[in-house]
Chain A
Amino acid sequence: MNAGGVEVGTELPAQTFRVTRADLVRYAGASGDFNPIHWNERFATEVGLPGVIAHGMLTMGLAARAVAAWSGDPGALVEYTVRFGRPVVVPDDAEGAEVTVRGRVAALLDGNRARVDLTVTSAGEKVLSLARAVVALT
């Protein structure tokens, strides 16, 4: 992303990602996180969850996609912090869940970098209580 077009308040194009049970299985395999709360309804409800939930790291990864789509280079994301607030519950159907990522440039930093604050929601609720990315500008 060229620094010329970036100022505090610049909004990133909103992106919506669909997450199904099959996506959770694929992410489990690729990441090595086989916690059964992400694929086993019986286990998830036994430990008090509303159902099978997405890996927090999957949500974090999808939010990073929205930043990369805006910046043009995923390698420009130099710092990235999230706090997992509420789980993304993924029902056992073809639609699954939707995760929507919105972002806004919150500050311009030294070293030609911008801080982007993200708002990540699913089913109308914020799922990340904090999500901040620092992007190197060109």
Chain B
Amino acid sequence: MALDPGLVGRSYPPSAVYEVGRAKIAEFAAALGDQDPVYRDPEAARALGHPDVIAPPTFAIVVSLGAANVVLDDPEVELDYSRVVHGEQRFTHHRPIRAGDRLVATTTIESVRHVAGNDLLTTRVELDTEDGESVCTAVAMLVARGTA
């Protein structure tokens, strides 16, 4: 089933607030085998000019992937999730995500393409603080193999 190009530009309501915790940052860094104190020790983070421990550059996926599920749950997005693989990922960090951030994710369908029998779906998730400060833009391209 090919994805409907009319989905491009569809935007979903903002997510519930995701509060970034120090323990979650430390857990994520440990899962990358990364011992950098900037992820664990507020003093080490402050020495680099950050107000609190920061998150690894790919931590945004924890928030953005959860938020982008709103697309896969949309009954008008006919995507066979069992055939989906991650094609591309881009993060633009307006500033590092840090402990204490209260983030709201807003998801938009950026493009729909059909290439070589595959459906390609690109979503953009804007992560802002609940006060409206832009923190990160996460763009993901998903490939549904052999569905177009």
| A9 CB within 8 Å of chain B | no
Q: How large is the interface on B (under 10, 10 to 19, 20 to 34, 35 or more residues)?
A: 20 to 34
**A74 engages B89 (CB within 8 Å):** no
Q: Quick one: CB contact mask for A76-91 with B, threshold 8 Å, 1 for yes?
A: 0111111110000000
**A64 engages B57 (CB within 8 Å):** yes
| B93 CB within 8 Å of chain A | yes
Q: Quick one: CB contact mask for B31-72 with A, threshold 8 Å, 1 for yes?
A: 111101011000000001010001011100110011000000
Chain B residues close to A by CB (< 8 Å): 27-28, 30-34, 36, 38-39, 48, 50, 54, 56-58, 61-62, 65-66, 82-83, 85-93, 95-96
Tell me the dominant secondary structure on chain A's binding face: helix
Complex CA distance for A23 and B62, rounded to whole angstroms: 17
Residues on A with beta carbons closer than 8 Å to the beta carbon of B61? 31, 57
Complex CA distance for A23 and B88, rounded to whole angstroms: 22
Tell me the dominant secondary structure on chain B's binding face: mixed
| A60 CB within 8 Å of chain B | yes
**B88 engages A27 (CB within 8 Å):** no
**CB within 8 Å of B: which A42-64 residues:** 47, 56-58, 60-62, 64
Q: Which 10 A-B pairs have the closest CB atoms?
A: A30-B31, A75-B96, A81-B90, A61-B58, A27-B31, A61-B32, A77-B57, A56-B86, A64-B57, A83-B88
Residues on B with beta carbons closer than 8 Å to the beta carbon of A60? 58, 89
Residues on B with beta carbons closer than 8 Å to the beta carbon of A58? 31-32
**B57 engages A57 (CB within 8 Å):** no
**A79 engages B91 (CB within 8 Å):** yes
